[in-house]
Amino acid sequence: MITLLDYGAGNVRSVMNAVEKLGGTLKLVTRPEDILGAEKLIFPGVGNYGNMIQILNRKNYIDPLRQYLESDRPFFGICLGMQALFDDSEEDNSNHESLGFFKGRVARFKTDLAVPHIGWNGINIKQKSPLLEGVDPDARFYFVHSYHLVPEDPSVILTTTTYDYEFVSSVQKGNVMGTQFHPEKSGKVGMKLLENFISKDDLHSTGPADIQGKHLAKRVIACLDVRSNDDGDLVVTKGDQYDVRDKGNVRNLGQPVDLAKRYYEEGADEITFLNITGFRDFPLKDMPMLKVLEETSKNVFVPLTIGGGIRDYTDSNGRVYSALDVASQYFRSGADKISIGSDAVDVAQAYLATGEKTGESAIEQIARVYGNQAVVISIDPKRVWVDSPEDAKGLHLIQSSEPGPENQSHCWYQCTVQGGRQTRDLDAVALAMACEALGAGEILLNCIDRDGTNAGFDLDLINAVRNAVSIPVIASSGAGCEDHFSQVFEKTNAEAALAAGIFHRKEIPIQAVKTHLAQRGIGVRQ
């Protein structure tokens, strides 16, 4: 019997699915007494530290949790659920009481690398723990965080991980343990670790260890553009330069749940669903999409991102839904990150016009509750050639590596909304910078000119955006062969590459892309 502490903002569904898949029985904490009565407790946390601690205090969970921890019964904190065990965090400027089971604090990454630290990274093992039994020391786990532990007592360190410098990625004292990475999102290796926690009665470590693990991998992401076809069925579709119709009909490349499962089994590091008509259909009325997430997360144990229609909305009865309401529903259905497209353009334009953050935008609202790392901005730009730099005053002008159709040397990338249907007077670099300032944690950088062309990623665009921000960038649009993936990682600093068409049409398996990258010396999760 596993008791799960759901404080309301974490993605507990993935952990529940993982425990159930492993044959565990689950009970949810609904009152403080449930904590005291637990035999094994898992505390998954995603989001903002201050928000979490406030909720734990408000629900009167702090004292029972302390008593539980002191009794040395098995406890597993995941991400924020582990950070809560420490005295305090730089992410929290309120003075709420934390659990203080471990002495030490939680500090923000200080590095020139992208923050949040997102992706599959290795572990250096410092203690022999039953928790890690049977776990391949070369394995990588999924991380997504901007803050890391700084324990005062080094004897509690179970593993460290290298991201620019070595930081503490898991801790253990007696039967109380926690990981910064997400085992429930780390595929088979993460499931093994959870299985150890669930099945073993005594988890005490048995002595020191010194095993070096791998470094951060570049991610390969499969993207599923989803919409209803003309018969009303939800299908995965794929267009050329965003035109998804063939002879008038929406192209049907498969069922979303089946395809996501296939890509998980083939080794995709993440799966992204884009509800491409979300701008006109309110997603909370579009229950099939929520169902897709629920069903997918039962069998797919890598991160899931969902985009489309995340914005404030008023329905025909005058009921107002905030973007946060929409995002919360997606998180509860199994999403780990949400992606905002059209609304981000409007928000960025308003922010750039006034220079003021209102605190009310979708980006700010969702980041405040779920953390910056959960907010991805999907950019849909189109290239605009200019005859002279004078034609692009105030825009981020880019020197093109190839001349334009009329031998132009410079261009800029114009933002669009509603899946490319409308253009705005804003360039992609400015949009990315504004969204980072507002609290976005990652950029999904599409390119309408390259989408579906198999002509390769737009390296000029990717370099311009990646060099302007300090959050991770996912390169998207145009992948046509294995070489395109090595090019994007060798010639830009993108953290991940996303593709759709070549995977849907079975032109190139994900594994072939990874083998090719590994042969080129680019670290990938195998």
Catalytic residues: 79, 182, 184, 225, 380
Judged by CB under 6 A, which stretch of 180-188, 301-309, 424-432, 511-519 contacts ligand 1PR?
301-309
Q: CA-CA distance, 171 to 185, in Å (whole number)? A: 19
Judged by CB under 6 A, the residue of 479, 488, 510, 524 near ligand 1PR is 479
Q: CA-CA distance, 252 to 247, in Å (whole number)? A: 12
> 3-class SS at 49?
helix
Binding track, positions 177-196, relative to ligand 1PR; x by CB under 6 A: --------------------
Q: CA-CA distance, 143 to 186, in Å (whole number)? A: 9
Q: CA-CA distance, 248 to 63, in Å (whole number)? A: 62
Smallest gap from Cβ 420 to ligand 1PR, in A, equals 6
Q: CA-CA distance, 299 to 21, in Å (whole number)? A: 8
Judged by CB under 6 A, which stretch of 199-207, 246-254, 276-284, 292-300 contacts ligand 1PR?
276-284
Distances from the Cα of 414 to the Cα of 165, 398, 437, angstroms: 37, 12, 20
Binding track, positions 487-516, relative to ligand 1PR; x by CB under 6 A: ------------xxx---------------
Smallest gap from Cβ 497 to ligand 1PR, in A, equals 9
- Picking from 389, 431, 381, the residue whose alpha carbon sits closest to that of residue 410 is 389
Smallest gap from Cβ 378 to ligand 1PR, in A, equals 3
Binding track, positions 304-333, relative to ligand 1PR; x by CB under 6 A: ---xxxx-----------------------
Residue that is written with structure tokens 């009167």 in the block: 60
Q: CA-CA distance, 57 to 69, in Å (whole number)? A: 16
Residue 278 interacts with ligand 1PR (CB under 6 A): yes or no:
yes
Beta-carbon contacts of 241 under 8 Å, excluding residues fewer than 6 positions away, are: 420, 448, 449, 451, 452, 453
For Cα atoms 211, 212, 213, give the angle at the middle one, nearest 5 degrees. Answer: 120
207 φψ region: left (φ > 0), alpha (ψ -120 to 50), beta (else): left
Cβ-based burial of 29 (10 A; exposed 0-12, middle 13-18, buried ≥19): buried
Binding track, positions 355-394, relative to ligand 1PR; x by CB under 6 A: -----------------------x-x--------------
Q: Tell me the residue number closest to ligand 1PR, measured at CB.
A: 419
Residue 271 interacts with ligand 1PR (CB under 6 A): yes or no:
no
Q: Find out whether 115 and 109 touch, Cβ atoms under 8 Å.
A: yes
CA 64 to chain centre: 32
Smallest gap from Cβ 466 to ligand 1PR, in A, equals 17
Residue 334 interacts with ligand 1PR (CB under 6 A): yes or no:
no
Q: Which is nearer to ligand 1PR, 173 or 450 (CB)?
A: 450
Judged by CB under 6 A, which stretch of 31-39, 203-211, 293-301, 303-311 contacts ligand 1PR?
303-311
Judged by CB under 6 A, which stretch of 13-21, 60-68, 234-242, 288-296 contacts ligand 1PR?
234-242
Q: CA-CA distance, 93 to 47, in Å (whole number)? A: 15
Q: Which residues sit at the interface with ligand 1PR, rule CB under 6 A?
A: 223, 225, 238-239, 242, 244, 274, 276, 278-279, 307-310, 339-343, 378, 380, 419, 446, 451-452, 476-479, 499-501
